[in-house]
Structure 1
Amino acid sequence: MQDHLKDFMHYLVVEKGLADNTIVSYERDLKAYILYISKVEEVATLDHVTRATIVQFLKFLHEKGKSSKTISRHIASIRSFHQFLLREKVTTQDPTVHIDRPKTEQKLPQVLSVDEVQALLDSPDSSKEIGIRDKAMLELLYATGMRVSELISLNLSDVHLTMGFVRCIGKGNKERIIPLGKLAQQAVHTYIEESRSRLKKKKSTEALFLNHHGNRLTRQGYWKILKKLSKEAGIEKDLTPHTLRHSFATHLLENGADLRAVQEMLGHADISTTQIYTHVTKTRMKDVYSMYHPRA
């Protein structure tokens, strides 16, 4: 079973070109699944797995206190795995055919107000190299709505400041071109001219955003920076690495942007994913109405 899992993971990396975080999630889910079914007496091979076997595994996850969202993700991983096994003729049937994913409560993403975004963008100390870098990162994220993983993967050649756009490689290794506003262009230009060369030291690297060792900044490094700056900006909301991405989309829609255009800039394959932000804007409108209308 472990050999078939290795083949599947290789398929996800080479043929599907999935993001590193997605690969890690698949592997974690399927290792737990294989560990469970390997202890089931009736399952001598993967072809012996039945719908009942998988249902028992899902029941096991539920009893361990796993959320509907987590169980739903496990089902997606297991389904992809068994479909792969069937295509490769390792098995003769797909036991996931009649298994439905549980309905999950759709949580609205945390969004900053325009004033909170401004406070966050103003929080880096622009008199220091690191502050100039942090300012450029925040401006770029809010200007483009990129994922943090996409931001830290940027190379110097991906940013075209004179033409006002950035080239981004998203999920599934798909390329998209996102326009850049003047403030983001200016912040990134200042970083490249005044800060990046000092951070780079004598190292040879194409990475756009560097840490103080001269290496490519990591997702964890960005997350620490965001938490520090949000605290300094006096923002009390529970921020996530995607907060500026959510704020970018919501603010565009609030100001009349076309949903399809926002979908394209975010790199969503399905517009239903982008539609979550229309719910956010409606919720915010209700809050404003309740707060300011004299007869609310």
Structure 2
Amino acid sequence: MRKEDLDLSACYASLRREITKTRKPRIVPITKRTAKLIQELIRETTEFDSEYVFLNNYGDRLLPNHFRHQLKKYAARAGIEKRIYPHLLRHSGATLFLEEGGSERHLQAILGHADGRMTAHYTHLSDRNVKKNHEEFSPLSAVVGKSDRSRKITR
């Protein structure tokens, strides 16, 4: 990602068509906290005078394979036995977005999917979240009502 692809005051990143899988450019929002961290990173790497945001220790552009290798190394160090790869972060982020109440339509736009089915394929529902949604939206709860009281047993 190049510095010119970011608008840190408006909190968004522009993904150029050359770097997207679909070859369609898009705008992706970032949080204020992320914008602040990126600003800090850019300040820390000014000595390298690079147009890129993510650099290695020598000031060269950080390549995907290097990031993948580092991610695997840190996952192993943390004791994570599951297969970890950069794209998994995209899947996990998408799932968490939905679990926190984000809309599928907005997620589809953020991910750059033309078809909602791809977004649905991308995300995975946790058992905990399915149960929570069922309790909240069950038709039976709407008819009978939710009861937090314990039942009295007179046997």
Q: Which runs of 5+ in 1 are unaligned?
A: 1-153, 289-296
Task: Specify the alignment match of 1:168 in structure 2.
Answer: 15
Matched, 1:243 2:88: yes
Q: In the aligned structure 1, how far is the partner of 2:22 from the partner of 2:73?
A: 32
Q: Of 270, 280, 292, which aligns to 2:115?
A: 270
Task: Specify the alignment match of 2:30 in structure 1.
Answer: 180
Normalized against structure 1, the TM-score is what? 0.40
What CA deviation, in whole Å up to 9, does each residue of 1:109-152 have, x standing for no partner? Answer: xxxxxxxxxxxxxxxxxxxxxxxxxxxxxxxxxxxxxxxxxxxx
Helix, strand or coil at the partner of 2:22: helix
Helix, strand or coil at the partner of 1:167: strand
Change over 3 Å in CA distance of 1:287–1:212 after alignment to 2 = farther
What amino acid maps onto 1:241 in structure 2?
P
Change over 3 Å in CA distance of 1:197–1:223 after alignment to 2 = same
Change over 3 Å in CA distance of 1:161–1:233 after alignment to 2 = farther
In terms of fraction of residues, the more helix-rich structure is 1
Q: Which has more radius of gyration?
A: 1
What CA deviation, in whole Å up to 9, does each residue of 1:242-287 have, x standing for no partner? Answer: 1211111001111221111101100112211101245x11545469
| Percent of matched pairs sharing the same residue | 36
Contact 2:41 2:53 in 1 (8 A): no
> What does residue range 144-159 of structure 1 map to in structure 2 within 5 Å?
154-159=1-6
Matched, 1:229 2:74: yes
Contact 2:52 2:61 in 1 (8 A): yes
RMSD: 2.2
Once the two structures are TM-superposed, the CA of residue 231 in structure 1 deviates from its matched residue by: 2.6
The one of the two structures with greater contact order (alpha-carbon pairs below 8 A, sep at least 6) is 1
Q: In the aligned structure 2, how far is the partner of 1:252 from the partner of 1:172?
A: 22
Contact 2:5 2:14 in 1 (8 A): yes
Q: Of 157, 169, 193, which aligns to 2:43?
A: 193
What amino acid maps onto 1:197 in structure 2?
T
Normalized against structure 2, the TM-score is what? 0.73
